[in-house]
Amino acid sequence: MAKHIWVQKKICLHPRSRGFHLVTSEVVAQLPELQTVKVGLAHFFLQHTSASLAVNENADPSVRDDLEVSFNQLAPENATHYTHVFEGSDDMPAHIKTVLIGTDLTLPIGDGRLLLGVWQGLYLCEHRNQAGRRELVVTLQGEGV
Task: Report the C-alpha gap between 52 and 81 in whole angstroms.
Answer: 23
Task: Report the C-alpha gap between 125 and 17 in whole angstroms.
Answer: 10
Q: Is the pLDDT of residue 1 over 80?
A: no
Closest CA to 103 of 13, 15, 34, 43: 43
Q: pTM of the full predicted structure?
A: 0.95
- 41: domain CATH number is 2.60.120.460
Q: Which domain holds residue 28?
A: 4-78+86-144
How many domains is the chain partitioned into structurally? 1
Q: Is the pLDDT of residue 2 over 90?
A: no
131-142 tens-digit pLDDT: 999 999 999 999
pLDDT at 109 (0 to 100):
98
Share of the chain above pLDDT 90, in %: 97
pLDDT band at 145 (very low <50, low <70, confident <90, very high): confident
Burial 108-143 (b: 16+ CB within 10 A, else e): ebeebebeeeeebbbbbbbbbeebeebebebebbbe
**Rg of the chain in Å (alpha carbons):** 17
CA 131 to chain centre: 14
